[in-house]
Amino acid sequence: MSLALVFAIAGLVGFGVHLITARSLSRIVLGFALLGHAAVLALLASGGPAGDPPLADRATSAEMANPLPQALALTAIVISFGLTLFLLALARRQHELTGDDLVEDDLEDRAVSALADAEAAETP
Amino acid sequence: MPFVILFVHAAAAIAAVVTANRSRVTAVVAAALAPATAAVWGFTALLDPDTARAASFTWVEGLQLGFDFELSPIAALLTFAIGVIGTLIVIYAHGYFGTPEPTLGRFLATLTIFGGSMLGLVWADSVWTLFLFWEATSVTSFLLVGHKHAGSGARTAARRALMITGAGGLILLAGMMVLIDATGTHLLSEMEAVTGTTATVAAVLLVVAAATKSALVPFHVWLPGAMAAPTPVSAYLHSATMVKAGVVLVAIVSPILGGTDAFTYLAVGLGAATMFWGAIGALRQRDAKLILAWGTVSQLGFLVLLFGVGSAKATFAGVAVLAAHAVFKAGLFMIVGEVDIRTGTRDITELGGLHRSMPVAAVVATLCGLSMAGVPPLVGFPAKEAAVEAALGLAGTERLIISAAVIAGSVLTVAYTAHFLLGVFGPNTAGPNAANVDTPVRPRRMAMTAPAALLATASVLGWLFDGTASKPITRAAAALNPKADVYELINWPGATTAFFVSAGIVAVGAALGVARSRMLLDVPRTIGANAADGLLDETLVIARRITARGQHGSLPVYVVTMAFVIAAASLIFVRPAVDSVGELPLADSPGQLALAIATVLAAWGCTRVDSRIGAALALGVVGLAVTGLFVVQGAPDLVLTQLLVETVIVVGFVIGLGRLRRSFPVTGARWQQIRALVAGLCAAGVAAALIAAEGAASSATAPPTERLVTEAVEEGGGNNIVNVILTDVRALDTLGEIVVLAVAALGVIALGRPALMTAKTPISPPTREEVRA
């Protein structure tokens, strides 16, 4: 691990979270993609310093990068890929139904909130 | 055997539900069979006490997860009582519920499950098993109390019972954890007596937990309310089961925690207060069932007081009163139910002359009542006598206080017994229609009278054959306090001090009771219960307000809130992170530094670009930069995968967002943008701190690369170690990953299809003409 990787991960998480606080679903997709990159890099960084590719016939185990986090990171890449595409499909569907891809407030939650406000108004 | 009996209970519950609507008798027999098996097992244990009866099932070894049952002598006694009374209750319920009764199946099933839970509770040896069944009795008793759920009264009472006993369950859990800490074992049978601060904390928690279950002051408010339940429930819950759980808890922890002052003071204090307050409450009631309910509260206080004192004689007296109370209180409740069904009222100001019209019930109630008052020739007498002797046998201040409490409490017990018997069966002297008119009664139902009569007979037999009856009681008491094995029930003690004290108690109490029954008091207001309900309602209102504030429906605010909470929780990692930053190298290579900067710049670009396609391209740049980092790190498989994925994602963006407006809609005020920015900064800080702290930890140990290499080549048969890990070591995970992708693909296909469902006009199949055309 190096400070450069810490910097990259922190940057990706920061901009990722910033993006998923948006109302536009396509921005949220971007945010998730950035967070996915950050997760993969974090897995990789926790495995130790950089090294040669973990191929038994081309490198010695002393110079090799830790292969274990790479195997985990592969899964992470694939899953975040599936998630990103699914979110994109959702955004497209949202656009077809509403003409836009904005995430509206949850109406049920609003109703609960209004109920509590009404109750508060009743009891002095 | 415990597992078999519990299984029988579960099976009987199912059978009762299934058969109740078709054949009522089948359902009743099935429900009665379950407690009967428990009674038989309990009886064999009483006959043959030297055989150890235990069973356990271990699920997870190291976590103490599993069931541990052991039939201690007191558990054997209670098993017999729960089984016998349970069987009688089912028969009684058959008479109590009229025909047809659509809810009978549900009732019998719940009652059976409740009985099974209670048995599990008294058999439990592991504290976890005890807790599990304790909670099970809370939940099932909630269902039983709320059986007539159409009425709001029953619902309120059931909720109150659940909240108080449920809260007690949590306190029990806490107490048990402290107890395990103090004793070092989770098996009750292996716990040694402990003292000290930990033991004191455990004692306080456990006595309070017992107080909620056994309706001790100030938690007693749920018990009178529970009278909204059908009478068979009251007769079962408030005699041998439910409320006894707390008493049993106090009894079984008394050898362990009895040495702590907190245990003694709290148990004796709560017990004495409850004994008085319950008895006074009983004297103030006009509803016959409520008199018994408050009487039960009083008796429970008496029992906890005796176990709290903890001397050998007091423990013996406690077990004796425990057994006697189960018998007489079940009988009394049964009679009240019969009076209720046959006259249509339980208000003693409306009842008159029942000793003429219901003679059998009157005799049964008198026998049970006299047992409660501690009058010979009934088993309650030697039990009460033992309690008086235990109190008089103490020394010093303790003798004075305990004796005063026991004697005064007993006087009040006699008084409310007289109040009850005269009120229900005597002439109507106090009511508004005190013209000595007999209340009209309906015909007797044998299924109701017979169980009560059996219990009354048992009280008499217990007095007659005092030697036989006292054996299991002595054994149970000796298991709690070894010095108690010299005591037994004595049906006629002769002219001892305790005997004269008892005679005085009965005389004064009876006079008080007769005087009370001639007065007409107002029905007392249920202040305590109202306060408990008010507290609950207020809690719910506050909960709704908090929900309204915290869950108001806006996704961005949720995300921001989560970011802040996680940031706050991660503050503890800041320190090790700062330490570790100094140890980390700036970069593994110059290329890594350049690529890291490129990654962050491109990510920043994602947030700044207004056009959707531009943002997608920026994301592609991030992906390429990250791929570059993989190259530097030495991960060729990741590089290949990432390139492929990145290509598909960019295509996906173009297809997915192609039809949307070119640029992102402008949303949010300035403060919202600032909020999002701050959230992003917090998240970045947290990520940096966590990763850096982890880096310091992981760099301390070298990765097991060498072993991975040899095993991949020799056992996996591949040179690419990452691939071997994926296909051999994590094969199942990889399969799961493929499933996830397949599900996502299905979702994408389903969402991507033309929007058939949203078409404004319903789509109908083409008509014949259209097809021809």
Q: Would you kindly state where each structural domain of chain B is located, as residue ranges?
A: 1-259, 305-521, 523-552, 553-699, 723-773
Q: CB-based burial of residue B671 (10 Å sphere; 0-12 exposed, 13-18 middle, 19+ buried)?
A: exposed
| Chain B, nearest residue to A94 by Cα | B751
> Does B722 contact chain A (CB < 8 Å)?
yes
Q: Is residue B762's pLDDT more than 50?
A: no
Correct CATH for B553-699 of 1.20.1300, 2.60.120, 1.20.120, 2.60.40:
1.20.120
| Chain B, nearest residue to A10 by Cα | B684
pLDDT at B152: 85
CB-defined contacts A:B, below 8 A: 358
Q: Between A14, A47, A71, which is nearest B726 by CB?
A: A71
Q: Average model confidence (pLDDT) for chain B?
A: 85
Q: Is residue B760's pLDDT more than 80?
A: no
Question: Distance (Å) from the C-alpha of residue A68 to the closest C-alpha of chain B?
Answer: 7
Q: Mutate which of A7, A21, A61, A75 to test chain B, going by most B C-beta atoms within 10 A?
A: A21
Q: Could you give the CA distance from residue B758 to residue B71 in angstroms, rounded to a whole number?
A: 66
φ and ψ of A55, to 5 deg: -115, 120
**List of chain B residues whose C-beta atoms are within 8 Å of the C-beta of residue A44:** 629-630, 633, 635, 638
Q: Give the H or E element holding residue B185.
A: none
**List of chain A residues whose C-beta atoms are within 8 Å of the C-beta of residue B584:** 1-3, 6
pLDDT at B763: 46
pLDDT at B666: 62
Neighbour tally for B114: CB within 10 Å: 26
pLDDT at B241: 87
Q: Mutate which of B542, B597, B613, B626 to test chain A, going by most A C-beta atoms within 10 A?
A: B626
**List of chain B residues whose C-beta atoms are within 8 Å of the C-beta of residue A70:** 635, 637-638, 722
pLDDT at B759: 47
Q: Per the CB < 8 Å rule, is A81 touching B645?
A: yes
Q: Is residue A45's pLDDT more than 80?
A: yes
Q: Quick check: bond before B377 cis, omega within 30?
A: yes
Q: What is the CATH number of the domain that holds A31?
A: 1.10.287.3510
Q: Could you give the CA distance from residue B369 to residue B362 in angstroms, rounded to a whole number?
A: 10
Query: Which tokens sit at A3?
Result: 């400070």
Tokens 């009965």 sit on residue: B506
φ and ψ of B607, to 5 deg: -80, -20
Q: Is residue B532's pLDDT more than 80?
A: yes
Torsion sign (Cα): B671, B675, B677, B681: positive
**Mean pLDDT along residues B489-516:** 85
Q: Between B619, B660, B747, which is nearest A89 by CB?
A: B747
pLDDT at B440: 76
Of B160, B143, B120, B83, nearest to B7 (Cα)? B120
Band (B772; pLDDT cuts 50, 70, 90): low
Q: Could you give the CA distance from residue B515 to residue B509 in angstroms, rounded to a whole number?
A: 10
Q: Between B632, B698, B709, which is nearest A50 by CB?
A: B632
**List of chain B residues whose C-beta atoms are within 8 Å of the C-beta of residue A23:** 555-556, 665, 667-668
**Mean pLDDT along residues B441-445:** 81
**Mean pLDDT along residues B39-48:** 90
Q: Mutate which of A30, A57, A64, A117 to test chain B, going by most B C-beta atoms within 10 A?
A: A30
Percent of chain B with pLDDT over 90: 33
Of B672, B694, B692, nearest to B684 (Cα)? B692
> Does B746 contact chain A (CB < 8 Å)?
no
Number of Cα atoms under 13 Å in the Cβ half of residue B694: 18
Which comes out higher in pLDDT, residue B430 or B248? B248
Q: Per the CB < 8 Å rule, is A91 touching B692?
A: no
For chain A, state the CA radius of gyration: 22
Q: Is residue B660's pLDDT more than 70?
A: no
Of B328, B330, B335, B334, nearest to B358 (Cα)? B335
Band (B761; pLDDT cuts 50, 70, 90): very low
pLDDT at B767: 53
Question: Distance (Å) from the C-alpha of residue A3 to the closest C-alpha of chain B?
Answer: 5
> Does B744 contact chain A (CB < 8 Å)?
yes
Of A4, A101, A108, nearest to B663 (Cα)? A101
| Chain A, nearest residue to B710 by Cα | A56
Q: Is residue B139's pLDDT more than 90?
A: yes
Task: Name the DSSP letter for residue A52.
Answer: B
> Does B582 contact chain A (CB < 8 Å)?
no
> Please, which residues 524-543 of chain B have a Cβ atom closer than 8 Å to chain A?
541
Angle at B629 between CA B626 and CA B632, to 5 degrees: 160
Q: Per the CB < 8 Å rule, is B596 touching A4?
A: yes
Percent of chain B with pLDDT over 70: 93
For the stretch B573-619, pLDDT in tens is 777 777 777 777 788 888 889 999 999 999 998 888 878 788 888 99
| Chain B, nearest residue to A48 by Cα | B699
For the stretch A56-111, pLDDT in tens is 887 787 788 888 888 889 989 999 999 988 988 888 888 877 777 777 777 777 77
> Does B664 contact chain A (CB < 8 Å)?
yes
> Please, which residues 607-626 of chain B have a Cβ atom closer than 8 Å to chain A?
607, 612, 615-616, 619, 622-623, 626
Q: Could you give the CA distance from residue B311 to residue B114 in angstroms, rounded to a whole number?
A: 33
Residue-number span of the structural domain to which A56 is assigned = 3-122
Question: Distance (Å) from the C-alpha of residue B592 to the closest C-alpha of chain A?
Answer: 7
Q: Is residue B245's pLDDT more than 70?
A: yes
Tokens 């109920």 sit on residue: A115
Q: Could you give the CA distance from residue B279 to residue B491 in angstroms, rounded to a whole number?
A: 26
Number of domains in chain A: 1
For the stretch B172-219, pLDDT in tens is 999 999 999 888 888 888 888 888 888 899 999 999 999 999 989 888
Q: Per the CB < 8 Å rule, is B629 touching A5?
A: yes
Question: Distance (Å) from the C-alpha of residue B542 to the closest C-alpha of chain A?
Answer: 9
> Does B591 contact chain A (CB < 8 Å)?
no
pLDDT at A99: 74
The pTM for the full model equals: 0.74
**List of chain B residues whose C-beta atoms are within 8 Å of the C-beta of residue A46:** 691, 694-695, 698
Query: Which tokens sit at B319?
Result: 């077990």
Torsion sign (Cα): B182, B184, B187, B189: negative
> Does B592 contact chain A (CB < 8 Å)?
yes
| Chain A, nearest residue to B695 by Cα | A46
Number of Cα atoms under 13 Å in the Cβ half of residue B80: 20
Residue B332 CB partners (closer than 8 Å, separation 6+): B292, B365, B368, B369, B372, B420
> Does B635 contact chain A (CB < 8 Å)?
yes
**What's B272-332 look like in SS3?**
HHHHHHHHHHHHHCCEHHHHHHHHHHHHHHHHHHHHHHCCHHHHHHHHHHHHHHHHHHHHH
